[in-house]
Chains A and B, each alone.
Chain A
């Protein structure tokens, strides 16, 4: 893999949550349903998206997909709270990474 490649950033989630990111110049993919979000995530993974921000509200329904991209270099699927607030899944994932590495939650 050559150094310094051009990549893009995607934001995936319900329309109200992700709309604002458009102003920042990120690629925004509003999804109506979890099923749609799942399909979009797979499609994005095949393209040159290095970072995909996914709202927790959808991530809750597609844990397996999020898990799948954990060990891959790209894309980094990063959970962000949706408009309805944080579900704590993002934090739980940090915790589970610790558990995976150490064998127990020591933090």
Chain B
């Protein structure tokens, strides 16, 4: 349900970074989503086409990198993946920590640059 707001937030961040880089068009977005972050890829993808319409990110492809939930037992240091029972499968301790699986971020975007190199553009200005 909250994927609409999340998708709008992703768009806002991507557009800001693209603008700062002087890019005309965003072609790809790379998202990192942990297993425990309760965000549904399909739902974000569904909203994406609507919210990106008419922006520099229209038609950009969303790439999802799913991070599995990994736990670390504090008693015996055994590392394991999340399953139905959270307790350590080796020593059955309750004292476990979630190491990965909560991630939820936009890690990169790919853009088409109007000006190939910002530095080159500046040099050109100086030369002319």
Decide whether A and B are members of one complex.
Answer: no
Interface positions of B (Cβ within 8 A of A):
none
- Measuring CB to CB, which residues of chain A are less than 8 angstroms from any residue of chain B? none
